[in-house]
Amino acid sequence: MYVPVRVKFAIALSVAIGWTAFSVWIAQQWLTELAQSVGVVPAVLLVGGIAIIPGFMNAFLIASLAMDRRPPRQPLDVYPPLTILIAAYNEEASILDTLASIERQNYAAPLQVIVINDGSRDATAALVRGAEARYPWLRLLDLPVNGGKARALNEGLKLAGDELVITVDADSYLQQNALSSIVERYRQDPPSTRAVAGKILVRNSRQNWLTRCQEWDYFQGIAAIKRMQSLYQGTLVAQGAFSIYDRRTLIEVGGWDDCVGEDIVLTWALLKAGHRVGHCEDACIFTNVPDNVRQFVRQRQRWARGMMEAFRQHPGILVVPRMSTFFVYWNLLYPWLDLAFTLGFLPGIVLALFGCYWIAGPMTLALLPLAILMSYLMFTIERRMFDRLGLKVRRNRLGLCIYVIFYSLLLQPASVLGYVDELFKTRKTWGTK
């Protein structure tokens, strides 16, 4: 039975509001006791940021995923030519693998692949120059000075000669038929679509405990958010690691802004202009994630700062009358939630160890059933997709345990650092290398 998207949105919102009302009711004693110790306003901010608002979000997400029945992709009669932009900075260890994965796609139309060497200090340019003899579709654009990913992509865009442009990270590996899949989804999505984000998975997940738990974040957490946003016709981040865009629209909105969150800022420019941004859940690319805590924190700082940059550069998106605007307002809540967790819940855990359950205690356990249900639902959805692609979900119980119990201890404080960076306009860095 076909259910209109707006009806699904209304159902999910009703479920979330109902769960929130129930949560507020059962949290009354918790709020009262906490208010006696820290005051009414801090108590409301802490309980709301730790339990009430996250519960609303999880309930909305679960209801939405349960109703997500997107039409399957169909092969195209004619596939369009593509220009692929790869911005590379010190990528000698991975760039040849990335190019090899493009060669193995067997895409049914001409490809133009432009590698923009952004002032690398290693052998990246030399390796790509050598690969030009093997791959007739490859071209090197060698920039002598490092200027950042946004500038590199804009320089490559000037050379793009095709209607559709795809960005691929230089340390990533395209899964078989990923190009065909993302093009099919782009062409078969609603006509207002001007970008589609691919599916990002972790390539180096076996490296250590940190990459193991990030495997679950990409497989479940990030994937769930993108599925939900795409259902309501407004994916908020067409990530630079693997996304497809309409070239003319890219030019109309000014390309990539010179900022640390160039992909989210560009996506919001597309949404503000009235375009739709979709998500192709089975166009997969495997990417290397940070393998040490310092790199991970810097990456998540950059992501959080990028969201703040998007609000600063595109405040008008808050008044665009469309379903996706709901998730933009949702993003406004993240600084509150991250601060409540970092400044409230983490100290609350320490207090709980000494028998003081003001913040972390039995009431916070009420969140677990919803979190478990969401994880089970998302795992089931993603495993079905893996089965269709001939992929296998790897056993990674250690990574799952770390992801469920300890991941937020790194993630949310790192996000707070990103908000502080943007607030005080600290020096911008490009991330994880």
- In a domain? residue 346: no
- In a domain? residue 282: yes
User: pLDDT value at position 151?
Assistant: 95
User: pLDDT value at position 269?
Assistant: 94
Cα distance between residue 377 and residue 58, in whole Å: 12
Q: Which residue has the tokens 């067997």?
A: 106
Cα distance between residue 306 and residue 380, in whole Å: 31
- In a domain? residue 220: yes
CATH code for the domain in which residue 255 is found: 3.90.550.10
User: pLDDT value at position 320?
Assistant: 85
- In a domain? residue 318: no
- In a domain? residue 355: no
Q: How many structural domains comprise the chain? A: 1
Tell me which residues of the chain have a pLDDT lower than 70. Answer: 357-358, 360-368, 428-433
- In a domain? residue 152: yes
112, 162 Cβ separation under 8 angstroms = yes
Span 62-115, pLDDT tens digits: 999 999 888 888 999 999 999 999 999 999 999 999 999 999 998 999 999 999
165, 247 Cβ separation under 8 angstroms = yes
- In a domain? residue 227: yes
Q: Domain range spanning residue 113?
A: 82-297
Span 1-29, pLDDT tens digits: 788 899 999 999 999 999 999 989 988 88
- In a domain? residue 324: no
Between the alpha carbon of residue 370 and those of residues 44, 69, 205, 373, the distances in Å are 21, 22, 27, 5
